[in-house]
Copies of this chain bind each other. A is one copy, B any other.
Amino acid sequence: MNIQAMKIEELARLVGGTLSGDPGLMVSGFAPLEAAGPGEISFLVNKAKIDALKTSRAAAFLVPMNIGDLPGVTVIRVRDPNLAGAIIHSAFLATPFRADGIHPRAHVGRDCLIDAEVSIAPLAVIGDRVGIGPRVRIEAGVVIGDDVEIGEETIIKANAVISSGSLVGSRVIIHPGAVVGSDGFGFATDERGCHVKRPQVGIVRIDDDVEIGANTCIDRAAYGVTRIKSGVKIDNLVQIGHNVVVGDNSILVAQAGIAGSTTLGRNVVLGGKAGVKGHIHLDDRVMVAGGSGVHDNQPAGAVIGGYPAIPIRKWTKSAALFVKLPEICAEIKELKKDLAQLLGRNKEDSEGGGR
């Protein structure tokens, strides 16, 4: 997939790193240490793994700042080799957008405004009055409802569904089978226990640079907007209820779920399978351990875990003691026995003393 070689000097500039070695060296790809071939650049995350670097066939390396000069080895020193690697790898893979146009076997509704430079695959279905910006790619089997707006360079993968009225920003990636804009789950129950549907007339708005995982579901608002803000990354099989707001750059790991009307600040992280109750707020940078259940508002920066979630340090201590409950109970039993004996003896003593 690597298209062309790049000069290492350029790569150093791209990631703001310090080059040590031949600035004219050409590299043709990026790969992990053990997989990199000659002519490729690789990366070393921390000093401890320096031996792996020595056996790698790579032509050059992204290394942390604290790595000294290695004779005959070309390195770029960077603050975060992981990050620099992601940037360089992306640069190698970048290809100019290939506009295949609208495939004759795609179906497009009426009154759409679709940029000329798009790729819409066979058997994609676009509703009425849909707007699609330049360099958007829509894969096979995607269904887009009426009145949807899609920005620039967004990719919607196979069999994803974007329901009517949704607004999708630019450079968004929506993975296969994801559903954006399904009805929120809202009912009112009558005297006989039957549930009357509360109409779900709001929309979903997805800002720029968001990624949405495979088979993830984002419900439209009951009224108003369910909002996924800029830079949010959502993994597979995540559930987002109606009227939820997910703040910029938050990360939701696979199978997490957020109930209706809850709001998340910026850079919140939900671990895998974490669940968040409805109508609460997790402030900026809250981190929730995988598998936890969050029942209450959380202040900025809180790191929490457990069910219900509590500060993670407290939880770790309690969880360690949970395992010891049998021993704890044995100790209590022992204490009771000792005390009973003592009470008995004391009783004897006082009885003895009473004689």
Contact = CB atoms under 8 A, between A and B. Distances in A.
Interface of A: 1, 31-32, 35, 79-80, 82-83, 85-87, 89-90, 93, 105, 107, 121-123, 125, 139-141, 143, 145, 157-159, 161, 163, 173, 175-177, 179, 182-183, 185, 187-191, 193-199, 201, 209, 211, 213-215, 217, 219, 223-224, 231, 233, 235-237, 239, 241, 248-249, 251, 253-255, 257, 259, 266-267, 272-273, 275, 277, 290-291, 293, 307-308, 310, 314, 317-319, 321-326, 328-329, 331-332, 335-336, 338-339, 342-343, 345-346, 349-350
29 contacts: A32-B223, A86-B199, A93-B201, A123-B125, A141-B161, A143-B176, A159-B177, A175-B179, A176-B179, A182-B213, A182-B236, A185-B236, A193-B266, A194-B249, A195-B249, A195-B251, A214-B217, A235-B239, A237-B237, A237-B239, A237-B257, A253-B259, A257-B272, A291-B293, A291-B307, A317-B325, A328-B329, A335-B336, A349-B350
A143 B239 CA distance: 23
A290 B143 CA distance: 32
A119 B259 CA distance: 33
B122 A141 contact: no
Contact of A322 (B31, B32, B325): B325
B188 A82 contact: yes
Nearest to A305: B307
Contacts of A189: 83
B322 A331 contact: no
Given A85-B198, A141-B161, A326-B321, A185 B122 contact: no
Contacts of A177: 159, 161, 177, 179, 215, 217
Given A185-B235, A235-B185, A342 B336 contact: no
B213 A215 contact: no
Q: Count the copies.
A: 3
Considering the complex of A and B, which 6 residue pairs feature the smallest CB-CB distances, nearest first?
A: A143-B158, A182-B214, A125-B140, A83-B188, A321-B325, A161-B176
Nearest to A195: B233
